[in-house]
Structures are given as C-alpha cells and as structure tokens.
Structure 1
Amino acid sequence: MSTLPVVGITMGDPAGVGPEIILKSLNTKEVYQQCRPIVIGDARILDRAQQFVNTNLEIITIEDIGEAAYEAGKVYCLDMNLVPADLPIGQVSAEAGHAAFEFLRKAIELANEGKIDAICTAPLNKEALHKGGHIYPGHTEILAELTNTNDFSMMLSAPNLKVIHVTTHVGIIDAVKMINPERVYKVIKLADETLKKAGYTNPKIAVCGINPHAGENGLFGYGEEEEKVIPGVEKAALEGINVVGPLPADTLFFRTVRGDFDIVVAMYHDQGHGPVKVLGLDAGVNITVGLPIIRTSVDHGTAFDIAGKGIADEKSLQEAIRQAIELAPKRA
C-alpha cells in the first residue's frame, strides 16, 4: 500500500488553460514519485487538450478513486462528464462555469471523506461561474462555505515572499469597511499557525497599513490604522506572536524579500497580489489557510486569450502540486 499522498487536481474552467497545464504537469515521472495524482474534471476535454500540448498520455476514465493505479504516462480522470466534447475554447459559458464548480465540489467531498489528501485547483473564471448559477467571488469562498469554515484567508507563496490577506475579492471601498481589529488579529493568528505547521519556530510577521506611509500618525486617512489595525496587532502580540505593524506597504514587501520578515499581512487584494505577481506569474501559489483540508492553487487566471494554443506555462501548477504534497497529512 503506497503512503504517497493522493492529490486531487481540479480542472477548473474547461474552456481555459487548465486542461493544458494539467497535462504538461503530469507528463513527468517525478510527480508520480512524489504523489498519487487524480484529475477531477472531464476526460474528453483532457484528451482534446493533448493536441495543443503535444503529449501522448493515456487518459484513463474512472468512476471511483479506488480504480486508479497511478502509473506514470497515464492520467487518471474522475470523469464528471458535464460539458460537451466540442465546448468552445477561450469563451465564457454557463456550462463551463457550472462544471468548474462541480469539479471543486466533488474534490471537497472526497477530501472530507479522506479519499484524497489535498486539493490542487486549476483556474476558474468568475464570470462563467456566475453565469452557471454559482455566485461566489472565487475558489476560496466556495471552499469555506462547503467546509463550514468561518476563519480563513488567502495566502500567496512565492520565492522569498509570503503574503496573507485580511480582505480579498471585494472593491477597495468595501475592503476598508470590512477591515476591523478582530479580523486583523485572526489573520495574524492564521499566519502564525500556518508557518509554525510548516516548520517555522517563531515566524516574523509584518502587518501593512491601509493608507500611504501607514497613515503617518494621522497625516493620511482618517485614523484607520489606529481604529482598525493597531488593536488587532496588539492583541496578537500580547499572546506572544512575533508581529509588528502597521508598516508602510511601499517598503515592507522589499524588506520581506530581503529577509527581514517571514510573511506580510496585506489589508486588501491588490496590496498583496501586486508584489507577488511582480516576481512572476509562474512563481506564485495560492494557499487557502484555515480550512480543515489542504488546498493549493495556481496564482493566475484561465487565460482565455491563449487557451488552445499550447503555450500556457505550467510552472505555477507544478509548484502548487509540490506545495500540496508538502502540506498534505502523511499516510501511515
């Protein structure tokens, strides 16, 4: 009996680059030496994608996880059979959005049942997701709802930089309204717990301000740092967490890459995503922390403009699989 973790890879939006980067990532023996990968999606779409990426993998359709043999050169697909074989490539559609939701729902079900050890997600398209009748901002919120998780956050991990978010997929005005001391405290605590599980003995956590120069003692903004951020930082520090802030975001990310801190707590989506993506779209991995299951993801979208051309870079998915393997609970 193999002790390698079973990693469920969801196809994401089948009209995007997900099928292509999955095939490219599984076209190596190394991944099968580190885990037992299973694709949750549509076998016909995978087979169609082979012509774009010039792979000659054997796509094996299964109806149950127990049927997979996890042999290199073969891709085992738990086939949901939700979209037509001629689904238009690179286009938003309700069918594809619904399928992406169902692929993820099935993966969560399998993880909750202990049949897979981690979930690694290819990208979905939010417009298609909504057209398919699933009104969520993205993967993270679906995972939280279907696992009954209240305290969670998005963490981006790239070489020399980790970022965790207080708010994510909301407009900037709504983000500022949503920031409060308790949420700041909970995200700091999630950062501390996550890094300690990953082997950091005393993680150094730095918290961004909301305004330029972190408000500069009231010079910018209307006291948001004093009202919304500082009490949360102080509460975490009183519990012994190694945290400082709020600090000016314009220099904090440089300092973190330099090695001054282990992770940055960003206040809103673009404050945290921008610096990570400057390091390269293929470098970042999205990890949802606070869930009862392990979930990693590429940190890029469906790339409809290049879908079907075979040029999508698989490095982010490969890194997401690697981190899923690293974080997955070890089997006896």
Structure 2
Amino acid sequence: MTDPVILALTAGEPGGIGPELCLQLAVRPREAGLVVVASKQLLEARARLLGLPVALHDWAPGQEPTFSAGALSVLDVPGCASVDAGRLDPANSAYVLRTLETAANGCLNGAFDGMVTAPVHKGVINEAGIEFSGHTEFLQDLCGVERVVMMLATDDLRVALVTTHLPLKDVSAAITPERLSQVARILDTDLKAFFAIEQPRILVAGLNPHAGEGGHLGREELDTIEPTLEHLRTEGLNLIGPLPADTLFTPHWLDQADAVLAMYHDQGLPVLKYQGFGRAVNVTLGLPIVRTSVDHGTALDLAGTGNADAGSLHTAIRVGAQMARCRKTVNRGPNS
C-alpha cells in the first residue's frame, strides 16, 4: 500500500484567487492529505462570499488531514488584514510570508512531505518594504542552499532554466561554467530522486540563433556551453547539445527526452505554456524539500467571482504528491 503523503498548501495573496482555489479542493477527491496553511478567517470569509459550504477543520502536526467531501484541514496563520477580493493590501505582506515560512519549516521538520504554493503578488510585498523576488528565491534562502533550479512541467514536457528572472541583456554574462554545471547537476539529480528516471536524457539549448552557427552568431556555445557539457558528460550526465532552440522543441528531439534545459526564461517557457497553460506545474529543484506551484498569477480580476480555474493547482498537487512518494521510495530503498 502506498505510504500516506501530507502536503502543505499555502493560499497565496489574500486578495487573489488563491484562497478560493484552495476552497474548491473540498469538492474533489484528493490523492494526498492536504493542509491549507492560511488564515482560517480569510478562508471562511471567501467561502461565504462564494456560497461554498466548506467545513474548515483545525489541524495540528501529527494529525491525519481530513479527506471528507466538503471539508478541508487548516493550519491557521493569523494576522491577515480585512480583505476585499480583487484588492491588494501591503498590510498583508508579512502574513503571506509567514504562511510560506510555516509550510517550509513544516517540511523541514517532517510534519509535511512537501508544499504546494498558490500565487503571491511580488509587487505588493515589495511595496510593504520587504525585499522579495519570488517563492523560489525565498525558499532558497530559508532552506540555506546555494543554487536552486526552476522547472516547469506538463504531462508531456519538462523545461528547466539556467537563468530565470534576468533582463535579456544580462543573460550571456550569467551563463558561466559554474552556474551551468550546478544547474545541470541539480536537474539530473532531482529527476532521479523525485521522478524515478534512472538515467535522465537532457536536451540543452544553445544561447544564440542556430546555437551560434559555429561561432558566426556568437561564441557562448564554443567558449562556455560546449566545454562545460563535455566535462559534465565525463561525470555520467546524459546531455545532448547545445541544440538550436528553434528546432529543439520538435518531436524528433523531444520524443526521447526527459527534460529540456533552456538558457533563459523566455527561450523555454513560452513553448511549454503554449503546450499546456493551465495544466502545468512549477517545480523548484535543488531544495531539501518538495515544492510545486501553479503556473499562473494572482488573477485579481477573477478573485471573488467563482470563475477561477483550479486546473493548475490540481496538477501541482498531483505532481507534488508523486514527487514526495518517489523521494520516500528512494530514501527507503527497494528492500526496506
């Protein structure tokens, strides 16, 4: 029998769609134990606004979350100001970060097997005077790791990034042998640990058009990417490339690949989101915990309308549960 998995689910920006996406989960079968880490008062108010008859049960570490239809387990995080759906309030920024800290610390101490995050609003957190560049960097600092990797995935495609939220003019300088090596090793290691892929086959995109055209369209491939990949292959990594990004995302290459490693944000993610927006999941690799997230933002215009689509959240929960179970199996070993 499969070991039970308990996932923490943070509700994200209080004025956005995150709270109601969490509430929608109560009416669907759940393949993992879920604990919503949020203000119980906020969830009750949003349920009343939407007319959702959801029973919210207080949860404490060591308890089994409820699987009952129409009910959710909640780890109450106080301090959320009065909230109007669709309206941002910088006064809630510290509360939002407390939900992330609570969930992550619960993963680190074993209360949770992983965490799933609904969207936050970076701008309003910064307006509150709190430096915040996103979930990924926040969890990297909290967990004390040097490098993490952003990977988005659908059922058919995984795309990881060497660089993430950088202006395009800064990307080339950021692609160093050290960074590329760290990212490739993390991707290879975590595909094995969390997705049970024994020998991941990773396609690596070049930076320039036509992967540099032998140096005529840029030398990053010749000077940095190719030598680094060659060295990593001596460590046993199965890396194919650098390949021209305009032809890499075709069945000829993708049919036999486990993941794509893109050099920058808008090189790989537009393809993935075209292929599966609303059904994709954002995975943070390189952490000592499981973390998945939705592939969309706070959607303030939809908050409180009841029209928000929980498809990406369901995917994030499913993938998070699979990753947590896979890690338990790997850590336990085949003969345990």
TM-score (norm 2): 0.91
1:209 aligns with 2:199: no
* Partner residue, 1:295: 291
Long gaps (5+) in structure 2: none
* Partner residue, 1:74: 71
* Partner residue, 1:127: 123
Separation in 2 of the partners of 1:90 and 1:75? 23
Question: Which amino acid is the alignment partner of residue 267 of structure 1?
Answer: M
* Partner residue, 1:171: 167
Partner of 2:215: helix, strand, or coil? coil
Larger deviation, residues 137-146 vs 88-97? 88-97
For residues 97-246 of structure 1, the aligned pairs below 5 Å read 97-197=93-193, 198-221=195-218, 223-246=219-242
Shift in Å, 1:11: 0.8
Note if contact 1:17-1:302 (Cα within 8 Å) is conserved in structure 2. Answer: yes
Question: Which amino acid is the alignment partner of residue 330 of structure 1?
Answer: K
Note if contact 1:108-1:143 (Cα within 8 Å) is conserved in structure 2. Answer: yes
Note if contact 1:93-1:131 (Cα within 8 Å) is conserved in structure 2. Answer: no
Note if contact 1:92-1:127 (Cα within 8 Å) is conserved in structure 2. Answer: no
Separation in 2 of the partners of 1:108 and 1:199? 23
Shift in Å, 1:99: 2.0
Note if contact 1:161-1:256 (Cα within 8 Å) is conserved in structure 2. Answer: no
Shift in Å, 1:53: 4.7
CA-atom RMSD in angstroms: 2.0
* Partner residue, 1:286: 282
Note if contact 1:111-1:119 (Cα within 8 Å) is conserved in structure 2. Answer: yes
* Partner residue, 1:95: 91
Note if contact 2:7-2:113 (Cα within 8 Å) is conserved in structure 1. Answer: yes
Shift in Å, 1:69: 4.5
1:45 aligns with 2:42: yes
* Partner residue, 1:330: 328
Separation in 1 of the partners of 2:225 and 2:321? 34
C-alpha change, 1:279 and 1:186, in structure 2 (3 Å) is same
* Partner residue, 1:22: 22
Note if contact 1:158-1:276 (Cα within 8 Å) is conserved in structure 2. Answer: yes
Separation in 2 of the partners of 1:67 and 1:158? 32
C-alpha change, 1:159 and 1:71, in structure 2 (3 Å) is closer
Shift in Å, 1:306: 1.3
Separation in 2 of the partners of 1:256 and 1:97? 46
Shift in Å, 1:186: 1.8
Question: Which amino acid is the alignment partner of residue 119 of structure 1?
Answer: M
Separation in 2 of the partners of 1:247 and 1:98? 44
Note if contact 1:163-1:263 (Cα within 8 Å) is conserved in structure 2. Answer: yes
Question: Which amino acid is the alignment partner of residue 18 of structure 1?
Answer: G
* Partner residue, 2:249: 253
Query: Of 48, 54, 60, which residue of structure 2 is paired with 1:57?
Result: 54
Shift in Å, 1:51: 4.1
Partner of 1:216: helix, strand, or coil? helix
Shift in Å, 1:43: 1.1
Separation in 2 of the partners of 1:200 and 1:90? 42
C-alpha change, 1:218 and 1:69, in structure 2 (3 Å) is closer
Separation in 2 of the partners of 1:96 and 1:133? 12
User: Over residues 4-48 of structure 1, what are the superposed CA-to-partner deviations in whole Å (9 max), with x where a residue is unaligned?
Assistant: 1110001111111101111112322x21xx322101111122122
Shift in Å, 1:213: 1.3
Note if contact 2:34-2:65 (Cα within 8 Å) is conserved in structure 1. Answer: no
Note if contact 1:207-1:243 (Cα within 8 Å) is conserved in structure 2. Answer: yes
Note if contact 1:181-1:227 (Cα within 8 Å) is conserved in structure 2. Answer: no
Percent identity of paired positions between Structure 1 and Structure 2 = 36
Separation in 2 of the partners of 1:149 and 1:58? 38
Long gaps (5+) in structure 1: none
Question: Which amino acid is the alignment partner of residue 220 of structure 2?
Answer: E
C-alpha change, 1:203 and 1:330, in structure 2 (3 Å) is closer
Note if contact 1:154-1:287 (Cα within 8 Å) is conserved in structure 2. Answer: yes
Partner of 2:260: helix, strand, or coil? strand
Question: Which amino acid is the alignment partner of residue 142 of structure 1?
Answer: F
